[in-house]
């Protein structure tokens, strides 16, 4: 399906530039709405841009939502980043990054690009969640963290035609939710990145690389041990050097 959609995209001439123009309308519209202080409308525009998810029979809605979840996570996160930006230049930078996502990263269908999409989607969504909802209820943070992890994992495993993709995605989502529930009682930040986001990103990236190498039969015992050691070292360093007295309960 990804290869078919890729072939349907205009590649040259007037149609190509028209396609670029139409894609750029979304980040520009979001930027203008945020500058006018219509942040809720900007969020609505991102959601409404995916109206085609529901232009089919209801039985296909769940599959379409899952397929478009990463794009939605990135789009909504960018809006929240722009709303919380302290300058016009920073808001414009987020707009440019969103345009790069729409034009260069989102259309990619290679293993590397799909992996990058999943990683960026999870990272952006978790950063935006903990940036804007630190005072929210624990169950909300727990549920949304697990949901974002599930969508990112499902997006990643789909490129490999993994027969146990749903089970593995649920397992990663459950792990993310459990970690979020545990650490939400001591919500620590390193700059703009929450401790939960940092740990899930490091562990998720490490396990994704291990899965990729194993899938292509390039995972030796030595490499596996190195990656496991690095992931454990990151976890130990993050936990050991955290100021547990400075917490949000």
pLDDT digits (tens, 9 = 90+) for 58-80: 888 888 899 999 999 999 999 99
User: What pLDDT score does 141 carry?
Assistant: 92
Reply yes or no on whether the pLDDT at 18 is more than 90: no
User: What is the pLDDT confidence band of residue 91, given thresholds at 50, 70 and 90?
Assistant: very high
Reply yes or no on whether the pLDDT at 3 is more than 80: no
Calculate what percentage of the chain has a pLDDT beyond 90.
49
Instruction: Give CA–CA dist 70/50, Å, rounded.
Output: 12
Instruction: Give CA–CA dist 207/219, Å, rounded.
Output: 12
**Helical (H) or strand (E) element with 76:** helix 61-83
Model confidence pLDDT, tens digit, residues 142-169: 999 999 999 999 999 988 888 899 999 9
Reply yes or no on whether the pLDDT at 209 is more than 60: yes
Model confidence pLDDT, tens digit, residues 98-111: 999 999 999 998 99
User: What pLDDT score does 8 carry?
Assistant: 45
User: What pLDDT score does 231 carry?
Assistant: 80
Work out the mean pLDDT of the chain and round it to a whole number.
85
List, as one string, the DSSP characters of 42-65: HHHHHHHTTGGGGSS-GGGHHHHH
CA-derived radius of gyration, the chain: 19
Reply yes or no on whether the pLDDT at 90 is more than 90: yes
DSSP structure class, residue 248: -
**Helical (H) or strand (E) element with 111:** helix 111-132
């Amino acid at each position: 399906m990804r290869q078919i959609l890729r072939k349907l995209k205009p590649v040259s001439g007037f149609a190509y530039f028209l396609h670029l123009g139409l894609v750029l309308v979304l980040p520009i519209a979001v930027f203008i709405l945020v500058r006018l202080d219509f942040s809720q409308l900007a969020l609505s525009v991102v959601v409404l841009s995916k109206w085609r998810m529901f232009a089919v029979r209801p039985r296909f809605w769940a599959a379409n939502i899952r397929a478009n979840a990463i794009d939605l996570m990135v789009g909504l996160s960018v809006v929240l980043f722009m709303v919380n930006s302290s300058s016009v230049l920073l808001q414009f930078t987020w707009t440019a990054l969103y345009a790069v996502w729409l034009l260069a990263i989102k259309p990619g269908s290679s293993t590397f690009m799909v992996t990058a999409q999943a990683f960026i989607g999870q990272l952006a969504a978790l950063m935006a969640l903990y940036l804007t909802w630190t005072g929210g209820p624990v169950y909300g943070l727990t549920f949304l963290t697990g949901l974002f992890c599930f969508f990112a994992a499902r997006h990643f495993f789909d490129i490999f035609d993994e027969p146990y993709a749903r089970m593995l995605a649920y397992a990663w989502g459950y792990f993310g939710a459990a970690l979020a529930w545990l650490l939400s009682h001591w919500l620590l930040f390193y700059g703009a990145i929450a401790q939960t986001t940092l740990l899930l990103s490091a562990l998720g990236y490490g396990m994704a690389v291990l899965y990729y190498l194993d899938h292509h039969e390039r995972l030796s015992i030595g490499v596996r041990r190195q990656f496991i050691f690095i992931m454990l070292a990151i976890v130990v360093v993050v936990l050991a050097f955290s100021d547990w007295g400075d917490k949000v309960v």
